[in-house]
Amino acid sequence: MVYLDNSATTKPWTEVLDTFYKAASSYYGNPSSLHHPGLEAETLMQKARESLAFLLHTKPEELVYTSGGTESNNLAIKGIAMKHRDRGQHLVTSTVEHPSVKEAFLELESFGFDVTYVPVDAKGRIDPEEVENAVREDTTLVSIIHVNNEIGTIQPIEEIGRRLARYPKLYFHTDHVQGAAHVPLDLSQSFVDLCTISGHKFHGLKGTGALYMKQGVHLSSLFHGGTQEQAARAGTENVPGIVAMSKALRMSREKQSDDKGRLSSLKEYLMEGLQKIDGAVVNTPIHGSAPHIVNVSFPEMKPEVLVQELTRHSIHVSTKSACSSKLQEPSAVIKAAGLGEKRAASAIRISFSFDTTQEEIDRLLTVLNSNVPEMQKVMGEKK
């Protein structure tokens, strides 16, 4: 099997699963309990928090554990908006956000908030000056994705953060889900107030995530009950998942450090191979994009048909964000970049992990070269 849908989810590493099992079987106490098993679980969770904080260049008490990227994004966006709505109801985001961000802002609009959507260029990149120009006196939050989940464009988060630091009354959030393993951010130097990560995107387990909340930031909780996670996120913590997530990020950062540009070279190799296929149009920019995402369109072809054809050959890719891939609609990201309806309606996403090999890419290219011309011919005959 050739698995190339790592932006949707990654396979948990064996060492991560071993860590999860040990924590689940030996540290099963509720970390809020005062008895010995509870204190043991709390101590283990705190060690994982310190390890994660070290990797993200932040303080342990600035991390709030969640169930993943969607919850973290919703907590950051809705939590800030609702907490500070008396001071202002203007929010800023971009036209190329993940569905969990986009839908959160749409709901806030239904509550009466005013949202400005900053556009992108043909490479899917945001101009930091346009972000700053969108700020108003009543702006309370700016949320910009770090690495685009569909085409891989890296946004200039540090520069945007430096500009927004001139406006101390607003908060800056970034969705770091796709960048955490492959394009790390130093949170101590990025001028962000809130930052989202998700464990299953870097070989951890589904249902694990975290929200960085800079010291001094206050938001309204989405969940009410206990006072876990500095009262920002009620509910018994998933200790085994948290410990496994910390292990997974540490291993990912080690592999990223040892990678020496191998994935970037693999991405360029794939893009060159795709450009040789008649009718293929690569949407991912060669420069300024993450090393693990390649988006390509085959105009006039239905992407779901191509995905199923590749699956028949045991090669697995996706059409767009896993959160919306079953909706047969054109890619909103590609449309926002002005690349046209045909490219938006015919795109597939190929995404690597540190385990991806050139042999797997060669296998993909071989199958595409063998099948795409015939599929294009069939599609043309049906018109």
Write down the catalytic residue from 82, 277, 323, 375.
323
**Burial (CB count <10 Å: 0-12, 13-18, 19+), residue 380:** exposed
Distance CA 20, CA 27 (A): 10
Distance CA 383, CA 377 (A): 10
Which residue, chain included where needed, has tokens 């969640």?
A: 66
Distance CA 144, CA 337 (A): 15
Neighbours of 163 (CB within 10 A): 19
Distance CA 284, CA 277 (A): 16
Asked if residues 314 and 2 have their Cβ atoms less than 8 Å apart, the reply is yes
Q: Is-catalytic flag, 195?
A: no
Distance CA 194, CA 305 (A): 39
Asked if residues 234 and 83 have their Cβ atoms less than 8 Å apart, the reply is no
Distance CA 221, CA 234 (A): 8
Active site residue ranges: 323
